[in-house]
């Protein structure tokens, strides 16, 4: 069964600290993995995409990693800011022959950055 599991469910850190969010998936055949950031009451916005051949990709203070062998991804946030408070959603795409129902969403990690 295609599944995406994220951990932790929620996380509270102090401003300026680093944190790492985890995403484990059982999706097959794998196409790509995206991390989205969703501010409270807003729509998600893509942060980064990881394909099978990519191990690490950075977007500012966000660094995503992918281990296709163990089917794990992480999102590392460096020097956190108050504006990083949001839910982070891991979405895995698998080959389905179309673009309609081939995305599996994790439930997200809710990050709270405190001053």
Partner 1 sequence: SQTIHQWPATLVQPVGSPLSLECTVEGTSNPNLYWYRQAAGRGLQLLFYSVGIGQISSEVPQNLSASRPQDRQFILSSKKLLLSDSGFYLCAWQKSANTGELFFGEGSRLTVL
Contact of 21 with 6, CB cutoff 8 Å:
yes
- Rg of the Cα trace of the chain? 14
Q: Is 99 in the site for partner 1 (CB under 8 A)?
A: yes
Minimum CB distance to partner 1 smaller for 17 or for 52: 52
Burial (CB count <10 Å: 0-12, 13-18, 19+), residue 110: middle
Among 1, 29, 43, 53, binds partner 1 (CB under 8 A): 43
The answer to the question of residue 68 lying near partner 1 (CB under 8 A) is no
Query: Which residues lie near partner 1 (CB under 8 A)?
Result: 31-32, 34, 41-46, 49, 51, 89, 91, 93, 98-103, 105-108
């Amino acid at each position: 069964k295609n599944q995406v599991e994220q951990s932790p469910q929620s996380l509270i850190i102090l401003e300026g600290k680093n944190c790492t969010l985890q995403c484990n998936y059982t999706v097959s055949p794998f196409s790509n993995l995206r991390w989205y950031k969703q501010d409270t009451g807003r729509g998600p916005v893509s942060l980064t995409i990881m394909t099978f051949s990519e191990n690490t990709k950075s977007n500012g203070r966000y660094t995503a990693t992918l281990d296709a062998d163990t089917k794990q991804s992480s999102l590392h946030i460096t020097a956190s800011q108050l504006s990083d408070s949001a839910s982070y959603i891991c979405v895995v795409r698998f080959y389905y022959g179309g673009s309609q129902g081939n995305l599996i969403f994790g439930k997200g990690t809710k990050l709270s950055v405190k001053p």
